[in-house]
Chain A
Amino acid sequence: MVVLYHGLALLSLFTGDGPPDTGWTFYVPYSIKTGTNVTLAVSAAFILGMSSILTGINFITTIHRMRAPGMGWFRIPLFVWSLYATAWVQILATPVLGITLLLVIVERVFSVGFFDPAKGGDPILFQHLFWIYSHPAVYIMILPAMGVVTEIIPVFSRRNIFGYKAIAFSSMAIASVGYFVWGHHMFTSGMSDTARALFSFITFIVAVPSGVKVFNWVASMYKGSIRVDAPLLFVFSFIFLFSIGGLTGLINGALATNIHIHGTYFIVAHFHYVMFGGNGFAFLAGLHYWFPKMSGRLYNEKLSKIGWGFLFAGFNALYFPMFILGWQGLPRRYYDYLPKFQGLQVVSTVGSWVLVTGLIIIFWNLLRSVKKGPPSGPNPWGGTTLEWKTGSPPPDENFEEIPQVTRGPYYYREGGTTEA
């Protein structure tokens, strides 16, 4: 289905009037009126949504039914908890995107009028439907990333995770409360004051479980034997960058400030800090952490840190100025900008070059090491979760014999040793 999506999306570039010019949010009335290939692109997105739903169904069923013997709910690794919460969001939010996309096609073909004031409709209704999915969607993106972080910290500080249940339940809390904040994307659209106040309030509430995780991650490292290898380096930068992104989310969520920064580069900076600084860095952390397991080899540690250095410096040079630019009034999605914004724009641009250099170093390191890295053995990091008890890469069906689980996933003792 993912392949079909990409095929259809590519097709939309070459047929009809060309690719959609509506922006990724497909706001009405323009998405209904424009002659560009909206129907094809939207169909592609619909199919992609179906693949997301199937994944959600698959993961929940697997986690419920196919745990190893002895692995009760509170013995599953916290990454799995994060995937479980994510899967529920995939199942319960994506269908709303489905109906929204169907309605765009229906309106384009039949002009029913749900979003057309001349026929009694309301364009803001489209925004409601769109964001009822698209806000939970960002939690689909960040929850697994947080799960990766939770896996890496115990291993590289040789300590059990602090507050297992708190982290597990905070994942579920983010997934549930995240359903009710969608209106914070629409504060300037014309919604009632009552709705805006409610959405702002709940937006502040949803930040709490994320805060719980940050505290627990830091607490887990207290008195630990910390080894700052690449995975942990990426995790540290995740905590730092995601916190900046998350705190600026609160600024966005406050009604008064939102009026000022909606539609500006402040928002762009915010979501890049949470998406790239958060999701992206956690992805790279996981890539380095599980690289030996997937490939059977080690990457070059020094090169990974050099790559990280360029990436981190470049990232902040690229995106931090956008907070300032946005605050000063630079709008999003404009083709040109006033001369007074030039200076910081240049800083951003140079930052992007440094960032890309970092990415090239990182991926060159990993790609090269797939073939040429030294063999890693089954457990180069001394991890205690089940994947480290099988070969690198794992054999068919993952384990020679199905493991019997007798304890929780993290069991580091004082002094950092683990039972064999």
Chain B
Amino acid sequence: MENEKNHIIPYRTFLFVLAGLITLTIISVTLTQISLGTLTVAAALLIAAVKSFFVLRIFMHLKFETRMFSIGVVAVTLLITVVIIITLLDYLFR
């Protein structure tokens, strides 16, 4: 386990990731100029999720850390999502 953390990510990987993130940002800006209602918002959030995935996995090193951290991130995200959904069950069905 200690060995994994000695892994240093090469420059190129970092630069590619940034290039990808900027591209996705630009895509989300242009895509959302088309007005498709909920679909537009969903697309924007999906792109945001993809960007987060790369920030977490590469910049924050989760790809090379013990699985526990990734499970924690997923669990916490799930927790907030479920709490928000349950709260919406109140507002949407009043």
What's the tally of chain A residues with a CB closer than 8 Å to chain B?
15
A192/B86 in contact, CB under 8 A: no
Smallest CB separation, B94 vs chain A (Å):
5
Contact with B along A178-194 (1 / 0, CB 8 A): 01100100000011111
> Chain B interface (Cβ within 8 Å of chain A)?
76, 79, 82-83, 86-87, 89-94
B83/A192 in contact, CB under 8 A: no
Known: A92-B76, A92-B79. A180 touches B86 (CB 8 A): yes
- Out of B76, B79, B82, B90, name the residue touching A192 (CB < 8 Å): B90
Contact with B along A191-229 (1 / 0, CB 8 A): 111110011000000000000000000000000000000
Smallest CB separation, B85 vs chain A (Å):
10
Q: Decide if A132 is an interface residue (CB 8 Å cutoff).
A: yes
Closest chain A residue to B90, Cβ basis: A195
Q: What are the 7 A-B residue pairs with the smallest beta carbon separation, nearest first?
A: A192-B93, A195-B90, A194-B93, A191-B90, A192-B94, A195-B89, A192-B90
5 new A-B contacts, CB < 8 A, other than A180-B83, A192-B91, A194-B89, are A191-B90, A191-B94, A192-B89, A192-B90, A195-B93
Q: Which residues from B are CB-within-8-Å of A389? A: none
A183/B82 in contact, CB under 8 A: no
Q: Decide if A128 is an interface residue (CB 8 Å cutoff).
A: yes
Could you tell me the dominant secondary structure of chain B's interface residues?
Answer: helix
What's the Cα separation between A128 and B90 when bound, in Å?
10
Closest chain B residue to A199, Cβ basis: B86
What's the Cα separation between A25 and B94 when bound, in Å?
24
> Chain A interface (Cβ within 8 Å of chain B)?
92, 124, 128, 132, 179-180, 183, 190-195, 198-199
A198/B86 in contact, CB under 8 A: yes
What's the Cα separation between A183 and B93 when bound, in Å?
15
B93/A128 in contact, CB under 8 A: no
What's the Cα separation between A198 and B82 when bound, in Å?
13
What's the Cα separation between A194 and B93 when bound, in Å?
7
- Out of B79, B87, B90, B91, name the residue touching A179 (CB < 8 Å): B79
Q: Which residues from A are CB-within-8-Å of B89? A: 192, 194-195, 198
Smallest CB separation, A129 vs chain B (Å):
9
B93/A179 in contact, CB under 8 A: no
What's the Cα separation between A263 and B45 when bound, in Å?
42
B86/A195 in contact, CB under 8 A: yes
Q: Which residues from B are CB-within-8-Å of A180? A: 82-83, 86
What's the Cα separation between A198 and B79 when bound, in Å?
16
A128/B87 in contact, CB under 8 A: yes
Smallest CB separation, A420 vs chain B (Å):
36
Q: Which residues from A are CB-within-8-Å of B92? A: 192
Q: Which residues from B are CB-within-8-Å of A183? A: 86, 90
Closest chain A residue to B76, Cβ basis: A92
